[in-house]
Homo-oligomer: A and B are copies of this chain.
Amino acid sequence: MQIKGKVTSFDIAHLAGVSQSTVSRALRGSPLVNEETRRRIQAAVDELNYKVDKNASSLRAKHTGTLALLLFEDPTADESHINPFFLSMLGSITRASAQRGYDLLISFQQFSHDWHADYADSKKSDGIILLGYGDYLAIRDKLQKLVNQGTRCVRWGAVLADQPDISVGCDNLSGGHAVTTHFMEQGCRRIAFLGDASSHYPEFFDRYRGHIRALNDAGLEAEPLLQVNAESTERSGYDALETLLARGITFDAVFAASDLIAIGAMRAMDDHGLKVPDDVLLAGFDDIPMASFVNPPLTTVLQDTNLAGEILVDNLLSLIRGQPAESAMLPAKLIVRKSSLRGREDKSEK
């Protein structure tokens, strides 16, 4: 066991009685190495507990074998809790990267701050994954610049016609359509929408458009007063519902653009003596783990985060290999739970 100094490929070469080049070849799995030689080298590696220096190999080979994940946090969100939906995405991206032999570097960024995506420029990673909601229009130029300077990057978010980058998102429009259609099947006619509805927040906007389309399909008109802006936090959902109440307008269902908003709205209704689903039906979006635990369990739209993580990583790897990659839209699946069911006969869980 070597004690002093770092073990390098020269030490291995010496021990195995070959040149350092051959050690390097053997360790990288080159076919140009004799089996017997390879075995001797491996034995030396094991004996000295040698590990290839990642920095040296990355510097020389010009790729790092690591991916960077930039997670944008909403500065207004509770410091201690990250949006559970993104946490779930983070988990699936980490897993997908590992399966494909890549390390994952993680960075949190404030969306509002002057964030830097220099993980590729500084050669810390071969490419980056952008995750988090925020004002899309505010980052569009930055995205454009990133792509222009050759940075490989993929983004989680709405798939738009003119976007400069590759993105993977769920079919928010269909999801929104499904929720509102479901509400109407339950007899609702005055459905409130809690969430921003502008091109600044394309995901929410698509959900809103699906909602409107469903209304129109049923011959109903949208009522502007039934839409209240909200960002994806409980606090914001709580406030949005109070705003809705303050408008003095009647509503028989609430479609929250995210589960967090829905949970906040649920609290607000509780505080104001409104019962879900007896007085008002409620649905969210995302199917975060909490959604099935709130009381009553929350109807929502499932986005397959496992699949999303894999597609995101695979797309990024394609880009890195110089292969083409395409933006992708994942299916959105309505999950009906008690919060949106009128009939009280169904009181049994599960």
Q: Which residues of A contact B (CB under 8 A)?
A: 49, 51-56, 58-59, 64, 66, 79-82, 84, 87-88, 90-92, 94-95, 98, 103-108, 118, 121-124, 149, 263, 270, 289-290, 293-295, 305-306, 349
Contact present for A122 and B53 (CB under 8 Å): yes
Question: Do A53 and B123 form a contact, CB below 8 Å, given A107-B103, A349-B270?
Answer: yes
Q: Whose C-beta in chain B lies nearest to the C-beta of A93? A: B106
Q: Would you give 26 A-B contacts (Cβ < 8 Å), ordered by A? A: A49-B149, A52-B122, A53-B123, A54-B55, A54-B122, A54-B124, A59-B59, A79-B306, A80-B92, A80-B305, A81-B88, A81-B91, A82-B87, A82-B91, A90-B90, A94-B107, A98-B107, A98-B108, A103-B107, A104-B105, A104-B107, A106-B106, A263-B293, A290-B293, A293-B293, A293-B295
Q: Which residues of B contact A94 (CB under 8 A)?
A: 106-108
Q: Which residues of B contact A64 (CB under 8 A)?
A: 55
Q: Which residues of B contact A108 (CB under 8 A)?
A: 94-95, 98
Q: Out of B54, B87, B88, B104, name the residue touching A123 (CB < 8 Å).
A: B54
Q: Out of B51, B79, B84, B87, name the residue touching A118 (CB < 8 Å).
A: B51
Q: Which residues of B contact A82 (CB under 8 A)?
A: 87, 91
Q: How many copies does the complex hold?
A: 2
Contact present for A121 and B49 (CB under 8 Å): yes
Bound: A295/B305 CA distance, A = 26
Contact present for A56 and B59 (CB under 8 Å): yes
Q: Which residues of B contact A349 (CB under 8 A)?
A: 270
Bound: A270/B295 CA distance, A = 14
Distance in angstroms from A10 CB to nearest chain B CB is 15
Distance in angstroms from A42 CB to nearest chain B CB is 16
Q: Which residues of B contact A56 (CB under 8 A)?
A: 55, 59, 123
Q: Which residues of B contact A118 (CB under 8 A)?
A: 51
Q: A52, A55, A87, A122 — which one has the most chain B CB atoms within 10 A of its CB?
A: A55
Q: Which residues of B contact A105 (CB under 8 A)?
A: 66, 103-106
Distance in angstroms from A269 CB to nearest chain B CB is 12
Besides A59-B59, A87-B90, 8 more A-B contacts (Cβ < 8 Å) are A54-B55, A55-B55, A55-B58, A66-B105, A95-B108, A104-B107, A290-B293, A295-B295
Distance in angstroms from A174 CB to nearest chain B CB is 22
Q: A98, A106, A295 — which one has the most chain B CB atoms within 10 A of its CB?
A: A106
Q: Which residues of B contact A54 (CB under 8 A)?
A: 55, 122-124
